[in-house]
Amino acid sequence: GTFSYPAAVELTFADGAMTAAGHVAEYAGFGLYVQNCADASSFEGVRFKIKGDPPMGKLSFALQTNQNEWATGLKGSCLAPDAQRYVNCVHPSAPITVTADFTTVEVKWADLKAGKPATAATTDGSDVIGLQFILPWVEKGTPYDTSVTIDDVEFIGMGAGTGGAGGAGNEPMAGAGGAQ
């Protein structure tokens, strides 16, 4: 499925691409989630096409993992008090550049850093629960309007891990059939 936050960031879909657009006046983002935890450790990372106009042409890509998700009883194994959930439960991420024209971006599991509380603050893709695109925001920052489009999301490269999902080659997040 898909998600966006806050309500000011709306998702639209056309020709298989997803666009997140809106007025950013606080922490905001969007992405794709999987119903259950997916083992993508047999892959090296994820690839997608992206275009848009975030400030300074940057945003962060985060791999949502079960070990870094705040425990709700349905998903997540990060145990932190509610008041500390966004401080102690952080998904590993990497900065990416976004231009006005579609650019293909590859993010390997090894590129993702700064997660908490995962061992070594990284991931091997073994417990994926979502792909998150985090729009730039600083406390007391200037609100801005933006539009970011993603397309052709797929797992890439066959890694040394085990597991991973199979699927049809042209389906987003399809697994082995879509990997190159």
Sign of CA dihedral 87, 88, 89, 90: positive
Overall average pLDDT of the 87-110 stretch = 92
**Residue 103 pLDDT grade (very low, low, confident, very high; cuts 50, 70, 90):** very high
User: Whole-number mean pLDDT of the chain?
Assistant: 83
Other CB atoms within 10 A of residue 56 CB? 8
Q: Please, are residues 178 and 155 in contact by the beta-carbon 8 Å criterion? A: yes
pLDDT tens for 36-79 read: 888 999 999 999 999 999 998 999 999 988 777 777 777 776 77
Percentage of residues in the chain having pLDDT higher than 90: 54
Q: Please, are residues 66 and 118 in contact by the beta-carbon 8 Å criterion? A: no
d(CA 164, CA 155): 10
- Look at 7-21, 70-84, 106-120 and tell me which has the smallest mean pLDDT: 70-84
Other CB atoms within 10 A of residue 27 CB? 13
Q: Pick the residue with more confidence: 11 or 124?
A: 11
